[in-house]
């Protein structure tokens, strides 16, 4: 079990939905520092988070996940606040298949870049003490998404990257566990106006795909956040979890090829 008490946590993502709820739950775990990296500052949310636990230092750092220099600067600022990072949560997500560059850039490239920039401050062989990297993918990182193939490709990439980095050979040397959580459909702004976000939205047959998504049972951001914290505490490197309608289930991907 991973003890969050006294840990330095960096959360990368928006202040709304799952992001806010997981940050709120972490504040109750007696962590030491919470650093929120987001594109836009939200003073109201920052104040609400700080009020959850005044003994935890909450810091906001602006970051643009489409800009490498912005990410470098953000990590430099973060490590000016804390000497090492114990937990990195990559929670930024964009569903916008019409803009392939942003969809892949934020969901996949930004996440991988952030991991590599933070690793020296997590790796026990460098400046870190070990810890956890948690990446948030999607159920569409496990299954096809016919209406959103670009988003599915990016989220499949998140799962593949996390499983690869979560290999025991990495873990035994770095002390950093990699975990990916794949939420099912969750009540949030992301799933509003789905047809407008699909590159195939002008095709009449896409209506049926969108309708299937709209009819699916949704979960609350609080339910996802609760299961994210649970997965952190389990601390199983390379684990892939499906978080759906309040349940956390480990997924066991099939390996078709062995060296």
**pLDDT tens, N- to C-terminus, the chain (259 residues):** 899 999 999 999 988 889 899 999 999 998 999 999 999 888 988 999 999 999 999 999 999 999 999 999 999 999 999 999 999 999 999 999 999 999 999 999 999 999 999 999 999 999 999 999 999 999 999 999 998 999 999 999 999 999 999 999 999 999 999 999 999 988 866 655 676 778 776 777 777 887 777 777 889 999 999 999 999 999 999 999 999 998 999 999 988 988 7
Condensed to tens digits (0 to 9), the pLDDT of residues 31-55 reads: 999 999 999 888 988 999 999 999 9
Contact yes or no for 95/141 (Cβ under 8 A) = no
Catalytic-residue membership of 151: yes
pTM: 0.94
Phi, psi for 87 (deg, rounded to 5): -135, 125
CATH topology of domain 8-245: Rossmann fold (3.40.50)
Contact yes or no for 135/158 (Cβ under 8 A) = yes
Q: How many CA atoms lie within 13 A of 9 on its CB side?
A: 30
The total of other beta-carbon atoms located within 10 Å of residue 229's CB is: 18
Active-site choice (121, 140, 151, 241): 151
Determine the number of helices (DSSP H) and then strands (DSSP E) in the chain: 10, 8
Structure-block tokens of residue 117:
């920039």
């Amino acid at each position: 079990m991973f003890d969050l008490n006294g840990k330095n946590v960096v959360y990368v993502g928006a202040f709304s939905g799952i992001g806010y709820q997981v940050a709120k739950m972490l504040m109750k775990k007696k962590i030491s520092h919470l650093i929120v990296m987001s594109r836009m500052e939200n003073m109201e949310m920052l104040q609400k988070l700080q009020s959850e636990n005044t003994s935890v230092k909450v810091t906001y750092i602006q970051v643009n996940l489409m800009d490498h220099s912005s990410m470098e600067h953000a990590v430099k600022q973060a490590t000016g606040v804390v000497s090492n990072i114990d937990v990195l949560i990559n929670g930024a997500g964009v569903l916008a298949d019409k803009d392939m560059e942003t969809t892949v850039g934020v969901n996949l490239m930004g996440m991988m870049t952030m991991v590599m920039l933070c690793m020296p401050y997590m790796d026990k062989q460098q400046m870190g003490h070990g810890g956890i990297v948690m990446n948030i993918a999607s159920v569409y990182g496990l299954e096809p998404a016919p209406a959103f193939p670009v988003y599915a490709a990016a989220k499949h990439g998140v799962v593949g990257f996390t499983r690869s980095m979560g290999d025991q050979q990495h873990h035994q040397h770095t002390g950093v566990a990699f975990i990916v959580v794949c939420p099912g459909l969750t009540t949030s702004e992301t799933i509003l106006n789905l047809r407008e976000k699909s590159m195939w939205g002008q095709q009449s047959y896409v209506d049926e795909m969108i309708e299937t998504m709209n009819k699916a049972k949704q979960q609350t951001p609080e339910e996802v956040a609760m299961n994210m914290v649970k997965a952190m505490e389990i601390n199983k490197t390379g684990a892939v979890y499906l978080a759906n309608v309040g349940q956390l289930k480990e997924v066991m991907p099939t390996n078709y090829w062995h060296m």
